[in-house]
Structure 1
Amino acid sequence: MKEFETLYNAYRPLLFSIAYRMLGSVTDAEDIVHDIFMQMERFDTNQMTDPKAYLTKMTTNRCLNFIKSARMRREIYTGPWLPEPQIKRSDQPLEKVVTDETVSYAFLVLLEQLSPVERTVFVLRETLEYDYSEIAGLIEKSEVNCRKIFSRAKRKLKDEASVRSENTERVDFLAKAFIHASTTGNFEEFISLLSEDVVLVSDGGGKVISALNPIVNKERVSAFLKGISAKGSFIGEIYPVIVNGQIGILQLKENRPSKVICFGLDSLQKDIRRIFMITNPDKLTHITAPL
Structure 2
Amino acid sequence: MNAQRDEAAREFESHRGRLFALAYRMLGSAAEAEDTVQDAYLRWHGTEPGQVAAPGPWLNKVVANLCLNRLTSARARREEYPGTWLPEPVASGALGPMERAEQREAVSFAVLTMMERLSPPERAAVVLRDAFAYSHREVAGVLDCTEAAARQLYHRGHKHLADQAPRAASAPLAPSGTDAEQNAALLGRFLRAASDGSLEQLEQLLAEQVVVWSDGGGRVRAALRPVHGRGNAARFLAGLFERFTDGVRFELAEANGTAVLLGWEGPDLTSVSAVEAGPDGVTGIRILRNPDKLSHYAERHRALSQNG
TM-score normalized with structure 2 length: 0.84
| Cα pair 1:119 1:153 within 8 Å, conserved | yes
After superposition, residues 97-108 of structure 1 pair within 5 angstroms as 99-100=98-99, 102=104, 103-108=107-112
Cα shift at 1:165: 5.4
Cα shift at 1:166: 6.3
Q: Which of the numbers 261, 269, 293 marks the counterpart of 1:283?
A: 293
Question: Number of paired residues?
Answer: 282
Q: CA RMSD in A?
A: 2.5
- In structure 1, the gaps of 5 or more residues are 90-96
Cα shift at 1:229: 1.9
Q: Which of the numbers 59, 82, 90 marks the counterpart of 1:78?
A: 82
After superposition, residues 1-291 of structure 1 pair within 5 angstroms as 1-87=5-91, 99-100=98-99, 102=104, 103-158=107-162, 160=165, 169=179, 170-186=182-198, 188-233=200-245, 235-266=247-278, 268=279, 271-286=281-296, 287-288=298-299, 290=302, 291=305
Cα shift at 1:36: 1.3
Q: For residues 147 and 185 of structure 1, what CA distance do their matches in structure 2 show? A: 50
Deviation string for 1:232-275 (max 9, x for gaps)? 43641100110111211110112101000002233x4x622111
Percent identity reads 33
Q: Against the structure 1 CA distance between its residues 85 and 167, is the aligned structure 2 distance closer, same or farther, given a 3 Å change threshold?
A: closer
Deviation string for 1:89-131 (max 9, x for gaps)? 9xxxxxxx96246522222122112111111101111222211
| Greater mean deviation of Cα atoms: 128-137 or 280-289 | 280-289
Q: For residues 184 and 139 of structure 2, what CA distance do their matches in structure 1 show? A: 36
Instruction: Report the residue type matching 1:35 in the other structure.
Output: D
TM-score normalized with structure 1 length: 0.88
- In structure 2, the gaps of 5 or more residues are none
- Name the one with the larger helix percent: 2
Give structure 1 regions of 4+ aligned residues with deviation exceeding 6 angstroms. none
Q: Against the structure 1 CA distance between its residues 129 and 171, is the aligned structure 2 distance closer, same or farther, given a 3 Å change threshold?
A: farther
Q: For residues 202 and 108 of structure 1, what CA distance do their matches in structure 2 show? A: 15
Q: For residues 133 and 185 of structure 2, what CA distance do their matches in structure 1 show? A: 31
| Cα pair 2:195 2:242 within 8 Å, conserved | no
